[in-house]
Amino acid sequence: MSLRRHVNLLLENHKKCAYSLHLLKRDHLFYPTEEAAKVRDLPRLRKVPPYSPFGTKVNGQKKKNQAALSDKLESIKLSPAVFTVRPSMACNGEARLSCFSLSGSKIFFTDSGARTTLYDTEDRCMITSPSLHSPKCYPIAVSVPIPGSEGEQDGGDHSLYIMDTEPDPCKASPFEALICCKCPDRDVTVPKTWHCDTLPPPPFLNNPGRSSISISSYSVVGDVICISADGLGTYCFDTVSRTWSLAGDWQMPFYGKAEYIPELNLWFGLSAGNPELPCAADLSPVLRGHEPKQRYVWRDPDLPEEWHPSSYGSSNITSFGSGRFCITNFYEDMNNCLMDRQSGPVGESIVVFSGL
C-alpha span between 9 and 21 (Å, rounded): 6
Number of domains in the chain: 1
User: Within a domain: residue 307?
Assistant: no
In the prediction, which pLDDT does 353 show?
84
- Contact by Cβ (8 Å): 127, 138: no
| Dihedral of alpha carbons 266, 267, 272, 276, sign | positive
User: Within a domain: residue 340?
Assistant: no
Residue 286 has pLDDT above 60, yes or no: yes
C-alpha span between 30 and 224 (Å, rounded): 33
User: Within a domain: residue 13?
Assistant: no
- Contact by Cβ (8 Å): 270, 277: yes
C-alpha span between 129 and 199 (Å, rounded): 18
Residue 71 has pLDDT above 70, yes or no: no
Residue 56 has pLDDT above 80, yes or no: no
Which element (helix H / strand E) includes 67? helix 60-70
Tell me whether strands 215-221 and 254-261 are parallel, antiparallel or unpaired.
Answer: parallel
Model confidence over 254-266: pLDDT tens digits?
Answer: 999 999 988 888 9
Q: What is the mean pLDDT of the chain?
A: 78
Radius of gyration of the chain (CA): 22
User: Within a domain: residue 337?
Assistant: no
Quote the domain boundaries for residue 103: 88-164+168-201
Model confidence over 299-340: pLDDT tens digits?
Answer: 655 677 778 777 767 788 888 877 788 888 888 887 766 655
C-alpha span between 52 and 288 (Å, rounded): 54
User: Within a domain: residue 271?
Assistant: no
Model confidence over 88-137: pLDDT tens digits?
Answer: 877 777 788 898 988 778 899 999 889 999 999 888 899 999 999 988 88
Going by the DSSP 8-state scheme, the letter that residue 89 receives in this structure is P
Per-residue DSSP letters for 11-58? EEETTTTEEEEEEEEGGGTS-SSHHHHHH-SS----PPPSB-TTSPBP
- Contact by Cβ (8 Å): 218, 143: no
More confident of the two residues 40 and 135: 135
In the prediction, which pLDDT does 314 show?
75
C-alpha span between 274 and 271 (Å, rounded): 5
Residue 303 CB neighbours (<10 A): 18
- Contact by Cβ (8 Å): 249, 233: yes
User: Within a domain: residue 189?
Assistant: yes
C-alpha span between 110 and 135 (Å, rounded): 9
Query: What region, left, alpha or beta, does residue 133 occupy, with left being phi > 0 and alpha being psi -120 to 50 degrees?
Result: alpha
User: Of 213, 218, 210, which is closest to residue 237 (Cα–Cα)?
Assistant: 218
Q: Which residues make Cβ contacts (< 8 Å) with residue 22, sequence separation at least 6?
A: 8, 9, 10, 11, 78, 79, 80, 81, 82
Rounding to the nearest 10 degrees, give the CA dihedral for residues 109, 23, 9, 118: 0
User: Within a domain: residue 125?
Assistant: yes
Cα 230 off chain centre by: 19
**What is the three-class DSSP state of 198?**
strand
User: Within a domain: residue 235?
Assistant: no
